[in-house]
Amino acid sequence: MSTRAPLLSVLVPLIAALESGLAGAQQRESATMQSSAPPAPSALMCDLLAKPAGSLIRSPRPRFSWVVNSREKDDVQTAYQIVLSARSADLDEDRGTLWDSGRVASSKSTAVEYQGPPLKSRTTYFWKVRTWDRQGHSSAYSAAQEFRTGTLAERHVTPRYRLVTTEVAPARMVRVGADKWFIDFGKAAFATVRLTLTGASDGQTVKVHLGEVPAGKNAINRTPGGSRRYRMVPLRLGQGTHTYTVAIPPDRRNTGPQAIKMPQYAGEVMPFRYCELEGCEGKLDASMVRQIAVHYPFDDDAARFECSSKVLNDIWDLCKYTMKATSFCGVYVDGDRERIPYEADAYINQLGHYCTDREFTLARHTHEYLITHPTWPTEWILYSVLIAWADYMHTGCDASLANYYTDLQAKTLCALAGEDGLISTRTGLVDGKVLASIHFKGKLKDIVDWPHGSLGGVKGQYGETDGYEFTDVNTVVNAFHYRTLVIMSRVAEVLGKAGDARRYADRAERVKQVFNAKLLDKTRGVYVDGVGTSHSSLHANMFPLAFGLVPAQHVGSVVEFIKSRGMVCSVGAAQWILEPLYRAGEGRHAMKLMTAPGDRSWPHMVYDVGTTITLEAWDDKYKPNQDWNHPWGAAPANIIPRRVMGVEPLQPGFAKMRIKPQPGDLEWAKLKLPTIKGPVFVELLQKPGASFKVAVTIPANTTARVYLPRLSDVIELDGKPTKAQAEGDFLFVDGVGSGGHVLEVRK
């Protein structure tokens, strides 16, 4: 991966076609196609499962989604028809013997609720769909999708897949002694190892050493320290040649009372990249050794990113792989140190997973688990509302919102508000009723960032909180509280609760006013850490900027303060220094932070540490007990698609999207992003400060608002000057429809 040629498969052909005068030929071809039927829908989902046949659907009214296909530009679905039967033979004849929706005039292609007679538990069903395009032409029916019900539940239940395994061959094998081998599988995985070995007699023992950290070139570090993993498992051989799957013994770390246990069918796993075999006297070659990696089903081809920066490419590969490797429990967990789901970790994991695979059930299940199994930090409770809204925006399905509406209301922590509307866990308002409403037993405590205390035991060095001074009324906590109020207003509106929507909106506005009156130092133009302190930290400023609290006249000073602090936060909080910088149009500075050298960076993880899954902390010295497999360190998995390439939903279920690239000084970049509506392709070429050209390919049945840097006041769309609107340092064209388009701006 040392060089990657800019083979701009979408951009170059589109530009060539436009510049060589083929527009007329394309129009003639389009006119011919209009008389033919559009392609059948594809990528069907039942309750967000793309392959539901191997799982159980628990909802009595499952929801169906599909991808609309079209040969036309700017095409939308104008109607659909779903047929469902208990026999596949009926669908072969296009007969929905249990449910035939008839032709429904609607553009809805995500989360369409079943409206037929009651389904039965433990029964197999089949469904398919056809659509009508904007010209009124009907497609053929899709291929049928099979699903099976479990015991149907009265309330909402998110289905899940079983875990799967991937066999990984050695990347390198070295004989290091007469009976000793060293094996490098290339990447760490939560796995076991399968070996084909020959025993001279029954009872011969081979010592199988597994670990994450190397000791030199051809050995495992057997005392890696902290939560880095090493263990030796003795393997007893039988006489003759046999294949063995090493059983990883459970231990205190992976069987604790709060830990997510591995399902029995998958067995126990541990994270390792390296294997040493000791006492292996017989023949051994690469075909006889496999790492058996366990993970949630993952489509490696669903997402792609590459650009002119090798460093950013390597960061993307690290973070994308982290999404796959850390899904080993079937729930988002904090890696291997505790194997516990945490809300802040889950949010970063959720966004990264959406950007690397067209998969939504793991994020939703984890969120719903955390609703009733919350963790102790105040802000983490508030995160649940953010996670719920991200789920809805990416899926277009409100089933989870509706089912957990009361819980989400409690998770705003409005019960902890004082007379001024700001919340606090230190003013005596946290009582048994409040704790019961959020399903928590224990003591809430503001966290801001983690870890607290000195870094690596060095006196005078703060933890990852940038010296944050905790007070009764905490700026970071109240920034999160404000954001939950804004979201709950929108959730209430989605669910038809107009009165609640108004109340949450009014409350949000009041909190914003009080927040800026009490926590913004207007003389310096920055936020303090809380009421009663004059100290200003990175965290007290990046969260208000991320959540839209900063008055316009103070955005510049807050941005400059954030830039002045650098990356003085944890790998998890790095999500929240990058988000507001991109929000403020500071993509160039954000890119420098993301790709910077030094030990507080992702390049340090890749090149200096050599990890293949993101770390829990920037380096062992910042958190001596850290693990080497923590998905909360993988923010670039979502920042690169959502911010560098700029693709995110503007309306639920990607009914409309924003494409706002901020590539810094990249010369070129290209992205394939999976969405519930189908893949989005974005490719760009730029000469910084001189020209910016982007090609987009947008799925049918959605539109985009596409932004380019404001190098002039004119955007060319498909070779023609087009009316554009200005927004800060950007121009945008709204309503760009499906198909391939090229937009360009020149100075």
**Mean pLDDT over each residue of the chain, to the nearest integer:** 94
Residues 229 and 131 in one domain: no
Cα separation, 483 vs 490, in Å, equals 11
pLDDT given at position 717: 97
pLDDT band for position 28 (cuts 50, 70, 90): very low
116 contacts: CB under 8 Å, gap ≥ 6: 84, 96, 98, 99
288 with 184, same domain: the answer is yes
* Same domain as 431, residue 549: yes
| Mean pLDDT of the region 368-395 | 98
What gap in Å lies between CA 354 and CA 361, rounded to an integer? Answer: 10
Give 53-77 pLDDT, tens digit per residue: 989 999 999 999 999 999 999 999 9
241-255 mean pLDDT: 90
Q: Is residue 585 part of a domain?
A: yes
Q: Give the pLDDT confidence score for residue 365 in this predicted structure.
A: 98
Give 234's pLDDT tier (boundaries 50, 70, 90): very high
What is d(CA 533, CA 524) in angstroms, rounded to the nearest whole number?
14
574-593 burial: b if 16+ Cβ within 10 Å, else e: bbbbbbbbbbbbbbebbbeb
pLDDT at 11 over 70: no
Q: According to the model, what pLDDT value does residue 457 have?
A: 53
Same domain, 431 and 469: yes
Task: State pTM to two decimals.
Answer: 0.94
What is the percent of the chain where pLDDT is above 70? 94
Asked whether residue 311 is assigned to any structural domain, the reply reads yes
- Does some domain include residue 20? no
Confidence of residue 23 (pLDDT cuts 50, 70, 90): very low
pLDDT tens per residue across span 289-342: 999 999 999 999 999 999 999 999 999 999 999 999 999 999 999 999 899 999
The tens digit of pLDDT for each residue in 179-195 reads: 999 999 999 999 999 99
- The closest alpha carbon to 418, from 535, 526, 547, 531, belongs to 531
Beta strands in 116-179 (DSSP E): 124-132, 145-149, 164-168, 172-177
Q: For residue 16, is pLDDT > 50? A: no
Is 480 in the same domain as 390? Answer: yes
* 458 and 340 share one domain: no
Question: Which one-letter DSSP state was computed for residue 182?
Answer: E
- Per-residue tokens: 743: 């937009």
Measure CA 3 to chain center: 27
pLDDT for the residue numbered 455 = 60
Residue 10 lies in a domain: no
Three-state secondary-structure class, residue 542: helix
Helix (H, G, I), strand (E, B) or coil at 737: coil
My answer on whether 599 and 724 are in the same domain is: no
Task: Please report the pLDDT score of residue 9 as a whole number.
Answer: 54
The two structure tokens encoding residue 297:
């089903």
Instruction: Write the single-letter amino acid at 60.
Output: P
Spatial CA neighbour of 632 closest among 270, 380, 365, 444: 380
Domain with 329 in it: 303-362+566-644
Q: Say if residue 282's pLDDT is above 90.
A: no
658 and 639 in a common domain? no
661, 647 contact by CB (below 8 A): no
Beta strand segments in 351-508, E:
none
Express each pLDDT in 588-647 by its tens digit: 999 999 999 999 999 999 999 999 999 999 999 899 999 999 999 999 999 999 999 999
- Joined tokens for residue 432: 């048994």
4 in a structural domain: no
pLDDT band at 101; cut points 50, 70, 90: very high
d(CA 96, CA 85): 5
Confidence of residue 8 (pLDDT cuts 50, 70, 90): low
Residues 388 and 444 in one domain: yes
pLDDT band at 27 (very low <50, low <70, confident <90, very high): very low
CATH number of the structural domain spanning residue 398: 1.50.10.10
Confidence of residue 121 (pLDDT cuts 50, 70, 90): very high
Helix (H, G, I), strand (E, B) or coil at 638: helix
Q: How many CB atoms lie within 10 A of CB 37?
A: 14
Final residue belonging to a domain, choices 610, 644, 678 = 644
Whether 381 and 516 share a structural domain? yes
The domain that holds 279 is classified in CATH as: 2.60.120.260
CATH of the domain at 657: 2.60.420.10
In a domain, 401, yes or no: yes
Do 257 and 158 form a contact (C-beta atoms < 8 A)? Answer: no
Specify whether 72 is located in the same domain as 92: yes
382 plus 518 within the same structural domain: yes
Beta bridge partners of 211: 230, 274
**Residue 404 domain-assigned (yes or no):** yes
Q: Name the residue with tokens 């037993």.
A: 441
Question: Average pLDDT for residues 445-464, to the nearest whole number?
Answer: 75
Q: What is the pLDDT at residue 257?
A: 87
Question: In what helix (H) or strand (E) does residue 349 lie, and over which residues does it extend?
Answer: helix 343-356
> Which of 162-171, 254-263, 527-536, 628-637 is predicted with the least confidence, judged by mean pLDDT?
254-263
Structural domain tally of the chain?
5
Last residue of a domain, one of 502, 528, 553: 553
Residue 25 belongs to some domain of the structure:
no
pLDDT at 453 over 90: no
Q: Where among 576, 610, 644 does a domain terminate?
A: 644
Quote the pLDDT of residue 541.
Answer: 98
Inter-residue contact 367 to 461 (CB < 8 Å) = no
What was the pLDDT predicted at 459? 52
What is the pLDDT averaged over residues 561-570?
Answer: 96
